[in-house]
Structure formats: structure tokens, C-alpha cells
Copies of this chain bind each other. A is one copy, B any other.
Amino acid sequence: MNASDHSTSPVRLKATASPNQPTPTPELEQLYRGFEQELLVPLWTEIGNLMPPHPRSQATAHLWRWDRLKELAAEAGRIVPVGRGGERRAIALANPSLGGRPYATPTLWAAIQYLMPGENAPEHRHTQHAFRFVVEGEGVWTVVGGDSVRMSRGDFLPQAGWNWHAHHNAATEPMAWIDGLDIPFAYNTESQFFEHGRDAINDAERATPERSRSERLWGHPGLRPLSQPIDTPGTPLLAYRWVDTDRALTDQLELEDEGHVGVLSPGHAAVRFTHPGTGRDVLPTIRCEMHRIRRGGSSQRWREVGSSVYQVFDGTGTVRVGQQEWRVQRGDMFVVPSWVNFQASCDAETVSLDLFRFSDAPIFEALHQHRIEVETN
């Protein structure tokens, strides 16, 4: 790049009279022209934005209503085919402050996926980690590495990166569910790989068993199948069933009733989905949890490094995200940006408010960058 390229430099610097900035002078302007020409940017013009006292998220707290998501997904089901190339009929939440990109948060992708009766989503694999969560419906099986996994209401279905997978709807009704992935993180860090697999899975894989093979191997509490390796980055258990999750949450609240430890805070039960061979997060980059707030109760108010996406699984209540406050019900989805306070409360008219949550916390824990601040009162 030479002097004549100046006008084409992506760098644009302007000497302004403002506190903490060097006094605008012709010399300074000249220096800035040199910087632009050489593709340089001084720290002193950027530090306030780049190095804030604490995270100031680009993302906005936002709520998406489930009824609208489903309506639009159903309409897409009617007019947009599923197949190789587009790969999935998935429609992603686009945070209003992230420039129209399909990013729920700066690191997380969240989408509603929709499959019509008899449809198949073709096989592929990618290094992005993924999961599915089913807020309602049934009839779809996801086939991961040849293992057919039933998807039903309340089930959590993780699928670690680089596993071949396809989906097929074996029922007579359409089915919707949500997908979570670390697509924005992988995109921004430029670490992603993707491959197409077969266009159609075979008949054996189109089976519709009640339990997947992964569950038969790994779905027994505290029991490791000796034949299986345990050092996989992601979980080998492909389905965490609602019956188990529900019972775990119920148990915590009953323990609280009996005066014993168990709940995260008064009236607030919570479990994390974990790799049964290591106890770590199910996916190296995504943490997934189910929270239950008891009738009339509230969670603590807290903020932490990293962002979360929630979906209301059941019940009604109120959630506060920073200055925002929404009344929410089944299926509604919302984001909590980094270092923004969050609190959830369950209505008095419902048994409990059940919230599915996923976040990017494992990234920060692995890199020793995680912080959390719980409000005490």
C-alpha cells in the first residue's frame, strides 16, 4: 500500500478535541494519515470502547414469542423445502443489536427447526457443537452416527461436534424444536469445519426406537460401560429424558421442603446436563441447564461473564434482564447478554416456572475468564 492508497484504507482516524485525546493539531492529523496509510490504529482513540471497566455487551436483551416463532416456522414448512444445500429448515434468532446477523448472542446461535411429516434432513457433520431441546411435540428421530434418537417434549439432545447426523420425521404431524449451537463463536474465531454426508440415511437408521443405543450404554446413573472410551470432548449420551430431569428437579424441591440441602437458592431447583464419563459440560463450548422456580418464588439476581439463551419450558412468570421485564409463557425465548443482571419469578397461578437455559460459560471457565456476581440482600 502506498500513499495513493490512502483513500482506500479501511482505517479512518480523526483528531478531535476531547478529554484523554491528544490535542488536534496539523501534526497530529498528519500522524493519523500515516497511521491510516500503514494500517495502524492508536490505542488512545479506542481504549474506552475496547477495554471497558466491565463487559458492555453489543447484544441486547430481547424476547421472541413462541407462537410467532411457530407460525413462521410452520409457514416455512409449507413453502421452503428441506434438502442438501440449505441442509436444515432452521430459523435463527437475530439479536437486534448484532447487525442483522443470525446471532442470538455474540457467541450463540438459537433457532427453531421444523420438520414436516415424512421429511428428512440430509446427513452432515460440523465441528460446531449443537444440541436440540424439545418444548413440545414428538415424532422426529435424530440419527447421530447411525444411532436413532427419539425426540419428545422435555428431552435434551446434545450432539458434540464432528458427529454425522440427520433427522427424520416419522410421524403424521410436523414437529418443531430448538437448536443451539456455537456458530457465532466458531465463526468469529474461525475454527469451523463442515462436511456433507449421505443424502439419505438407510432403513435401519430410520428406525424409531424408544431408547437410543447411546442411552442403553450411558443412561444408567453412575455406571460407565467398560467397553467405551470416556475421553471424548463431548458427551456420549445423546438423550437426557424429561422423566429424569423432572424427577431431579422435583427431588430438590422436596428436599428443600424437608429441610435439607439441594436447591440452588430458596425455591429454585437446578440441574446441569453433564458428560456422564467426565462430569463436565455436555459440550466443550455450551453449558445446558434446566431451572425450576417454585410457585410464587424467585431466583436470585445475578450476572456473569458470557451470554445465555433461555426458553420457557413450562409455567408462567416474569423475567427481568437488565432494565427489561417480560411476562413469559411456554416456548418463549430470550437472551441475557454478558454481565447483565437476570432474575426469574414464578407466578402464583402456576405450579412452577421451568426454564431451559444454555450459555457459553464453558469457554470462559476453560480460559479462566469466568466471573459471577450474585446479589445478596
Contact = CB atoms under 8 A, between A and B. Distances in A.
A264 interface: yes
Contacts of A217: 251-252, 255, 261-262
Contacts of A161: 369
Contacts of A41: 91-92, 94, 100-102
A43 B56 CA distance: 28
B279 A277 contact: yes
A235 B222 contact: yes
Contacts of A54: 192-194
Nearest to A40: B91
Given A40-B93, A225-B270, A220 B244 contact: yes
Contact of A227 (B190, B264, B278): B264
A223 interface: yes
Contacts of A351: none
Nearest to A196: B53
Contacts of A297: none
Given A22-B81, A226-B270, A248 B276 contact: no
Nearest to A87: B47
Interface in A342-377: 360, 362-364, 366-369, 371
A135 interface: no
A369 B127 contact: yes
A20 B196 CA distance: 14
A11 B94 contact: yes
A323 interface: no
Contacts of A278: 278-279
A55 B190 contact: yes
Interface in A21-79: 21-22, 25, 27-28, 31, 34-35, 38-44, 46-47, 50-59, 62, 64, 68-69, 71-72, 75-76, 79
B72 A11 contact: no
Interface in A88-110: 88-102, 106-107
Interface of A: 1, 9-12, 19-22, 25, 27-28, 31, 34-35, 38-44, 46-47, 50-59, 62, 64, 68-69, 71-72, 75-76, 79-81, 84-102, 106-107, 111, 126-128, 161, 183, 185-195, 213, 216-228, 230, 233, 235, 237, 240, 244-245, 247-248, 251-252, 254-255, 260-264, 270-279, 282, 284-285, 289, 305-307, 337-339, 360, 362-364, 366-369, 371
8 A-B pairs closest in CB distance: A20-B85, A44-B86, A41-B102, A233-B368, A190-B338, A10-B100, A216-B251, A226-B270
